[in-house]
């Protein structure tokens, strides 16, 4: 049996969190080091060679382009290192889906890349981090995990980066996939994939860039007026994602203001504030010059739009084709 060689890149989050007691609700993410986590993992006796590296130790609300750059560089080097079989990234659950999606767009995943987190801190009774980590090891050791893009393991399920959404603030089953649910089921001793890898041999879709264009998100709510959009847009703004009600809807007055802004070249993407928010193109999107986010959440639609604008794409029809791609 060959022992899988896995690089573990730690960024913090609740999986590395600590509280003053095993039962307290309040705790601080990003408190224990990768060495401490790996020494607890070692006690599980799973055959694997783990090498840890601390990239950051933060709550994932503080994830930044600079940390993304370090993480991307470490993943890229590991992808080209013949001594590495797979990568695990420990991450806070609040923004894990954004980091996973960014890496999914900018890495060629010919080796497994797996993000993992926890909903309960390392000091808590019923800490889910160790089980999730053992599951992540199972996935990162499986050659069939390659060619599925970046994966996220939470609560005995494997999700694709494009689909995963955190949809609960509490509980160990806080994640869902949309429009696909999980792409696999995992325990420390078993792994079942639903279908074959769908991205084998694909190169990275975009080069990684630390500097991305300014693209704010406009949250639509009752009583919103066009000046809310004006307040978000500066001379540097190149696009805006509308976190719309229902199927990406917004009041007429706001739509009119965005039509005026879209004409000189500001890209407008309509997404939905709903957890299962599929937003398809409407006939009026053609006339308005808008783009439909399809199944992407507003946060992920923002990342994809930033990538496309940074790559020099300024044609809404071509941008729409990229949002239509799975
Ligand atoms: C975080 O995202 O860093 C805190 C929440 C979590 O990891 O569950």
Mutate to test the pocket of ligand 1, among 19, 28, 93, 132 (most ligand atoms within 8 A of CB): 93
Among 29, 185, 177, 165, CA closest to 92: 29
Catalytic residues: 14
Residue 322, pLDDT score: 97
- CATH 3.40.50.40 residue ranges of the chain are 217-325
Q: DSSP label at 198?
A: S
Say if domain 217-325 classifies as CATH 3.40.50.2000: no
Place of tokens 């560089």: 73
| CATH code of the domain made up of 5-193 | 3.40.50.1170
Please tell me the residue having the least CA distance from ligand 1 atom 1: 92
User: Ligand 1 pocket: which residues have CB below 6 Å?
Assistant: 13-14, 29, 59-60, 92-94, 117, 119
Compare 90 and 109 and report the one with higher pLDDT: 90
Residue 210, pLDDT score: 93
Residue 282, pLDDT score: 95
Residue 277, pLDDT score: 87
In sequence order, what DSSP letters do the residues of 10-58 get, joined into one string? Answer: EEESGGG-B-SSTT-S--BSS-S-HHHHHHHHHTT--S-EEEEEEEEEE
Residues 6+ apart with CB under 8 A from 92: 11, 12, 13, 14, 15, 29, 30, 58, 59, 60, 61, 63, 117
Residue 73, pLDDT score: 98
Going from the Cα of 57 to the center of ligand 1, the distance in angstroms, rounded, reads 11
pLDDT digits over 145-167, tens only? 999 999 999 999 999 999 999 99
The radius of gyration of the chain from alpha carbons, rounded to an integer in Å, stands at 20
Residue 318, pLDDT score: 97
Going from the Cα of 60 to the center of ligand 1, the distance in angstroms, rounded, reads 6
Going from the Cα of 13 to the center of ligand 1, the distance in angstroms, rounded, reads 4
Residue 307, pLDDT score: 98
pLDDT class for 263, splitting at 50, 70, 90?
confident
pLDDT exceeds 90 at position 324:
yes
pLDDT class for 12, splitting at 50, 70, 90?
very high
pLDDT exceeds 80 at position 1:
no
Please tell me the residue having the least CA distance from ligand 1 atom 7: 92
Q: DSSP label at 145?
A: G
SS (H, E, C) 247-272: CCECCHHHHHHHHHHHCCCCEEEEEE
Ligand 1 atom closest to Cα of 119?
Answer: 8
Ligand 1 atom closest to Cα of 59?
Answer: 3
Residue 161, pLDDT score: 98
Percent of the chain with pLDDT over 70: 99
- CATH 3.40.50.1170 residue ranges of the chain are 5-193
């Amino acid at each position: 049996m060959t022992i899988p060689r896995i690089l573990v890149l730690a960024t913090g989050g609740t999986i590395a969190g600590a509280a003053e007691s095993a039962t307290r609700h309040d705790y601080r993410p990003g408190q224990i080091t990768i060495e401490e986590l790996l020494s607890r993992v070692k006690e599980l006796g799973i055959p694997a060679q783990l090498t840890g590296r601390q990239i950051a130790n933060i709550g994932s609300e503080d994830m930044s382009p600079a940390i993304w750059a370090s993480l991307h560089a470490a993943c890229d080097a590991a992808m080209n290192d013949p001594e590495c079989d797979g990568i695990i990234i420990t991450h806070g659950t609040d923004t894990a889906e954004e980091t996973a999606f960014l890496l999914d767009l900018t890495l060629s995943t010919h080796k497994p890349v797996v993000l993992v987190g926890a909903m309960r801190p390392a000091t808590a009774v019923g800490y889910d981090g160790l089980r999730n980590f053992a599951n992540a090891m199972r996935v990162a050791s499986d050659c069939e995990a390659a060619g599925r893009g970046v994966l996220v393991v939470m609560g005995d399920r494997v999700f694709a980066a494009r689909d995963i959404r955190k949809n609960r603030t509490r509980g160990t089953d806080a994640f869902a996939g949309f429009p696909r649910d999980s792409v696999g089921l995992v325990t420390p001793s078993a792994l079942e994939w639903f279908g074959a890898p769908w991205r084998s041999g694909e190169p990275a879709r975009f080069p990684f860039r630390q500097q991305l264009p300014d693209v704010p998100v406009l949250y639509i709510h009752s009583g919103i007026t066009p000046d809310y959009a004006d307040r978000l847009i500066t001379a540097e703004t190149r696009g805006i994602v509308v976190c719309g009600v229902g199927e990406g809807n917004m009041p007429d007055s706001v739509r009119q203001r965005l039509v005026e802004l879209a004409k000189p070249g500001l890209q407008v993407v309509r997404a939905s504030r709903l957890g299962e928010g599929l937003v398809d193109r409407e006939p009026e999107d053609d006339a308005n010059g808008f783009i439909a986010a399809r199944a992407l959440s507003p946060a992920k639609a923002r990342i994809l739009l930033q990538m496309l604008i940074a790559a020099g794409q300024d044609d809404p029809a071509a941008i729409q084709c990229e949002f239509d791609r799975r």
